[in-house]
Structure 1
Amino acid sequence: MKKFGIKEVVATGIGTALFVVLTEVQIPLGVIPNTSLQPRAAVLAFLAAVFGPVVGGIIGLLGHALGDALFYGGVWWSWVFPDAIFGILVGLFVKKYQIKEGGFHGKNIALFNAVQVIANAIAWIVVAPVLDILIYAEPAKKVFVQGIFAFIGNVIIIAILGSLLGVGYTKIGAKSSSLDKED
């Protein structure tokens, strides 16, 4: 297993801060309450794909919990844990995406999007609604509809913005890193 070093610590801190700041950047999906297109999902997916499951899990957990606490006055845990799970699942395939190595194109973009669709389905169509029912005794029909809309919104924003972040990083960031040790 890869060492959790300074790059991962910095990525976790910056990623968590970005996730929190982007909590209020939302485009509502319509008639379903509490569901929207959220760029923070793309940032989470991108950072998990670059730095792995530990960074993705921490950003999803801390970023969502802090964002909820700061902007909504309370933490909705049944939606915090799915973001952590999502970050972990996307991060599990970090080596296959080849973002850091400059190879994020074609098959690797397709793999990233296949993984994010599956991870989003697990997080938002299964985990979030089940936790809503178990923790908050929410009505099943309501939370499964919300989960499906959250899934759709996340898949769309990550497919577009997450893929663009990965392509941009692989073209620019993979060639040089400002986090290298100095001699």
Structure 2
Amino acid sequence: MKKFGIKEVVAAGIGTALFVVLTEVQIPLGFIPNTSLQVRAALLTFLSAVYGPLVGGIVGFAGHALGDAFFYGSVWWSWVFPDAVFGIIVGLFAKKFAIKEGGFEGGKIALFNGVQVIANAIAWIVLAPVLDIVMNAEPAKKVFVQGIFAWLGNVIIIAILGTLLAVGYTKIGAKSSSLEKED
């Protein structure tokens, strides 16, 4: 397994800060309470896909927890943990996506979106509703509906913005990284 170096520390720190800021950038789904389209899902997916599961888990966990605390005054842990799990799952496939190496195209884009759909399903259709029921005594019907719409919203946002971020990075950023080890 790859070591957790300075690039990963920087990515986790900056990623967490951006995730927190993007907490307020959302489009509410008015017909489903406390559920919205969130741009931060694309950022989490991108960082996980580039830097791996540890960065994905840190950004998902710390970014969501801090975003909840800063903007809502309390942390909804039953939705923090699924973001961390999502980041870890996507990050496990980072090498296969080849975003850093400049090879993110064709089948790798399809793999990226297949992985994000499945990881989102695990996080939002299974984990978040179950944790809501266990931790918060929320009604099952309500939280499973929220989970399905959170899943659908994330899948759409990530398929568009997450894919664009990854394609842009693989074409531009991967070839000209500014973080170089000095002699």
Shorter-normalised TM-score: what interval? over 0.9
Match for residue 172 of structure 1?
A: 172
Match for residue 80 of structure 1?
A: 80
Please state how far the C-alpha of 1:28 moved relative to its aligned partner.
Answer: 1.3
Match for residue 49 of structure 2?
A: 49
1:82-140 CA distances to partner (integer Å, 9 max, x unpaired)?
A: 00000000000001001000011110000000000000000000000000000000000
The count of aligned residue pairs is: 183
Gaps of 5+ in 2: none
Match for residue 143 of structure 1?
A: 143
Runs of 4+ in 1 over 2 A off after TM superposition: none
Please state how far the C-alpha of 1:181 moved relative to its aligned partner.
Answer: 1.4
1:30-52 CA distances to partner (integer Å, 9 max, x unpaired)?
A: 30011111010000000000000
Q: What SS class does the counterpart of residue 176 from structure 2 fall into?
A: coil
Q: What SS class does the counterpart of residue 165 from structure 1 fall into?
A: helix
CA distance in structure 1 between the aligned counterparts of 2:116 and 2:106, rounded to whole angstroms: 16
Q: What SS class does the counterpart of residue 21 from structure 2 fall into?
A: helix
Match for residue 66 of structure 2?
A: 66
Q: What SS class does the counterpart of residue 174 from structure 1 fall into?
A: helix
Report percent identity of matched pairs: 83
Match for residue 36 of structure 2?
A: 36
1:40-96 CA distances to partner (integer Å, 9 max, x unpaired)?
A: 000000000000000000000000000000000000000000000000000000010
Q: What SS class does the counterpart of residue 27 from structure 1 fall into?
A: strand
Match for residue 13 of structure 1?
A: 13
Gaps of 5+ in 1: none
Q: Cα RMSD (Å) of the superposition? A: 0.5
Match for residue 157 of structure 2?
A: 157
Q: Does 1:25 align with 2:14?
A: no
